[in-house]
Amino acid sequence: MNNFDVCLTPDLLHLHQLENSIVVVTDIFRATSCMVTGLAYGVESITPVATVEECRALQERGFIAAAERNAEKVDGFDLDNSPFSYMDERLIGAKIAMTTTNGTLSISKARGAAVKVLIGAFLNLGTLAAHLRNEPYDVLVLCSGWKGRPNLEDTLFAGALAEALKNEYSIQEDGALMAQRLYNQGKANLLSFVATSSHVRRLQRLGIHKDISYSLQHDLYDVVPVLRGGSLVLME
Amino acid sequence: MNNFDVCLTPDLLHLHQLENSIVVVTDIFRATSCMVTGLAYGVESITPVATVEECRALQERGFIAAAERNAEKVDGFDLDNSPFSYMDERLIGAKIAMTTTNGTLSISKARGAAVKVLIGAFLNLGTLAAHLRNEPYDVLVLCSGWKGRPNLEDTLFAGALAEALKNEYSIQEDGALMAQRLYNQGKANLLSFVATSSHVRRLQRLGIHKDISYSLQHDLYDVVPVLRGGSLVLME
């Protein structure tokens, strides 16, 4: 039985061996919820970059560019970090460049070493789990956290995936065990369970209530975004 | 209201400001459970050091020396890492030097920057909480984890202290929130709640059952170990 593990923040990624692992990157509020939504709505590709400067360089080369820092859109960019902005019909077939405070940084850290990098959110949980059930590799969920610290919502997603895959994968480490327990504790009402988390309070100060409840919905889309040649595209 | 925060592993300590914080170091299985037990039984001081070499140097200067690596005693040292070894009458008044895989490394990382460093375990939870209720500083629980990774038992202790201090301190960050939730989920039967954790499985392979159940007992001792001049002594 292959191993299912969870890395609670990118600042702990150095403790994990990725050579035989599929890495599932998650950033529930809101980068990976945006990615799943955009690709499900027909965006052609999303190129995640770590810095605002790289994002601007891609914008100058014709990409539609999305840059977020501290939960707000950076001046001079086209798109903000709300999943609802990715439902725009004008984005069908578009190439997007994206940088966010946490999520795109995680992807940058994971790429290269892992077998492949997939994108996970509650929005595509079931389809992602179904895909992973047939994989011969270990799985590591990389939670993006907040500026290096663990956060509740990404941990809950990791726990939800652990729970979905508990018959196919073995859990050996406490990070995954704690995530799974927290998800089982909170799953009956995730919205209320995350209500006092630091990032929800941060987003609520910015008036982003609807993004929160949207991003906690399970299985809205049957897509699995995968990183190919530096860009996220839908797995066929 | 001052802030109560939790650092899930020493590898994330760089994300925390310690200038206005009391740091409570915990390593439930088994370093801080040993420290609390030893000092409660009359050991004069315990000098935590990060390396086996430093421990040997103190042994040569007359300290009783305890060195543990990977949950086993290192050859050539006097004491192992079982709390029961610290109940020995011959240790009354003794000066002990100690190095362990995780716990003493945490103490080394915390000292210097923090207002003070205290030692926490379930064994002295109530007395420690009572002491902290009267402090004017922030509190950070530093979980020692296992080789940089978070672990369940230290997280549960952090959650127990969060729960004990919830009326006196404010929780702003998700690390503390997750610890508190996990403790509340598991507190009715901590022994069963930790039974599948990685470190319990590791210790059980070594036959150390009784150390596990002992270290999960609340409030056996009314002591607060504090780091003074590089050594742990009882707070008067």
* Most confident listed range (A46-60, A65-79, A205-219, B69-83): A46-60
User: ∠ CA B150-B151-B152 to the nearest 5 degrees?
Assistant: 135
Residue B160 belongs to some domain of the structure: yes
DSSP string, chain A: -EEEEEESSGGGGGGS--TTEEEEEE-TTTHHHHHHHHHHTT--EEEE-SSHHHHHHHHHTT-EEEEEETTEEPTT-SB-S-GGGGG-GGGTT-EEEEE-SSHHHHHHHHTTTSSEEEEE-GGGHHHHHHHHTT-SSEEEEEE-TBTTB--HHHHHHHHHHHHHTTTTEE--SHHHHHHHHHHHHHGGGHHHHTTTSHHHHHHHHTT-HHHHHHHT-S-S----EEEETTEEEE--
Q: Which residues of B touch A15 (CB under 8 A)?
A: 11, 147-149
If you measure CA to CA, which chain B residue comes closest to A181?
A: B182
Q: Residue A28: name the closest of A164, A218, A180 by CA.
A: A218
Q: Is the pLDDT assigned to residue B206 strictly greater than 80? A: no
B170-190 average pLDDT score:
97
Residue B233 belongs to some domain of the structure: no
User: Is B152 at the interface with chain A, CB within 8 A?
Assistant: yes
User: Is-contact A25 A120, C-beta < 8 A?
Assistant: yes
pLDDT band at residue A197 under the 50/70/90 scheme: confident
Q: What is the pLDDT of residue B209?
A: 85
A142-160 average pLDDT score:
97
Which residue among A147, A152, A178 places its CB closest to the CB of B155?
Answer: A178
User: Is-contact B129 B218, C-beta < 8 A?
Assistant: no
Which residue among A8, A186, A198 places its CB closest to the CB of B8?
Answer: A8
Q: What is the pLDDT of residue B200?
A: 83
Residues 6+ apart with CB under 8 A from A59: A65, A77, A78, A97
The CB density around residue A115, as the number of other CB atoms within 10 Å, is 17
User: Is B17 at the interface with chain A, CB within 8 A?
Assistant: no
Q: Please tell me the distance in Å from B115's CA to the nearest CA on chain A.
A: 22
If you measure CA to CA, which chain A residue comes closest to B197?
A: A174
Q: Do A150 and B185 touch (CB under 8 A)?
A: no
Q: What is the pLDDT of residue B131?
A: 98
CA B199 to mean position of chain CA atoms: 15
Identify the residue whose tokens are 């100060």: A205
Q: What is the pLDDT of residue B112?
A: 84
Burial of A192 (0-12, 13-18, 19+ CB in 10 A): exposed
Residue A235 belongs to some domain of the structure: no
Tokens of B63: 């300290």
Q: What is the pLDDT of residue A234?
A: 98
Identify the residue whose tokens are 């999305």: A66
- Report how far residue A195's alpha carbon sits from residue B174's, in angstroms, rounded to the nearest whole number: 11
Residue B11 belongs to some domain of the structure: yes
Determine which of A64-73, A201-210, B7-16, B124-133 has the lowest per-residue pLDDT on average: A201-210
User: Is B149 at the interface with chain A, CB within 8 A?
Assistant: yes
Q: Which residues of A touch B9 (CB under 8 A)?
A: 12
DSSP secondary structure code for residue B123 in this structure: G
Strands B2-7 and B138-143, bridge-based pairing: parallel
Identify the residue whose tokens are 């790429």: A111
Residue B234 belongs to some domain of the structure: no
Residue A171 belongs to some domain of the structure: yes
User: Is A144 at the interface with chain B, CB within 8 A?
Assistant: no
Tokens of B44: 């004069």
- Report how far residue A73's alpha carbon sits from residue A40's, in angstroms, rounded to the nearest whole number: 22
Q: Is the pLDDT assigned to residue B205 strictly greater than 80? A: no
User: Is-contact B217 B122, C-beta < 8 A?
Assistant: yes
pLDDT digits 0-9 by tens, B27-57: 999 999 999 999 999 999 999 998 999 999 9
User: Is-contact B154 B101, C-beta < 8 A?
Assistant: no
- Residue B22: domain span: 2-227
Q: What is the pLDDT of residue B15?
A: 97
User: Is B13 at the interface with chain A, CB within 8 A?
Assistant: no
**Total beta-carbon pairs less than 8 A apart between chain A and chain B:** 82
Q: Which of A147, A152, A174 to mutate to test the interface with B (most CBs of B within 10 A)?
A: A174
The CB density around residue A14, as the number of other CB atoms within 10 Å, is 10
If you measure CA to CA, which chain B residue comes closest to A153?
A: B174
Q: What is the pLDDT of residue B89?
A: 95
Higher pLDDT pick, A112 / A83: A83
Provide the mean pLDDT of chain A.
95
Residue B221 belongs to some domain of the structure: yes
Residue B232 belongs to some domain of the structure: no
If you measure CA to CA, which chain A residue comes closest to B181?
A: A182
Q: Do A151 and B174 touch (CB under 8 A)?
A: yes
Which residue among B11, B178, B197 places its CB closest to the CB of A174?
Answer: B197
B208-213 average pLDDT score:
90
A195-221 average pLDDT score:
87
Q: Which of B144, B174, B197 to mutate to test the interface with A (most CBs of A within 10 A)?
A: B174
pLDDT digits 0-9 by tens, B58-115: 999 999 999 989 888 999 999 999 999 999 999 999 999 999 989 899 999 999 899 9
CA B186 to mean position of chain CA atoms: 19
Q: Residue B33: name the closest of B179, B204, B220, B194 by CA.
A: B220
Residues above pLDDT 90, as percent of chain A: 88
Question: Quick one: which H or E segment has residue B185?
Answer: helix B174-186
Whichever domain contains B18, its CATH number is: 3.90.1560.10
Q: Please tell me the distance in Å from A1's CA to the nearest CA on chain B.
A: 17
Q: Is the pLDDT assigned to residue A207 strictly greater than 90? A: no
DSSP secondary structure code for residue B149 in this structure: B
A5-21 average pLDDT score:
97
Which residue among A175, A181, A198 places its CB closest to the CB of B150?
Answer: A175
Tokens of A47: 């190129």
Q: What is the pLDDT of residue A96?
A: 98
Q: Dihedral, CA atoms, B197, B169, B105, A7, nearest 10 degrees?
A: 50
Question: Quick one: which H or E segment has residue B65?
Answer: strand B64-69
Strand order in the sheet with A72-73: A72-73, A64-69, A95-99, A45-48, A231-234, A225-228, A116-120, A21-26, A138-143, A2-7, A169-170
Residues above pLDDT 70, as percent of chain B: 100
Strands A72-73 and B72-73, bridge-based pairing: unpaired
- Count of domains forming chain A: 1
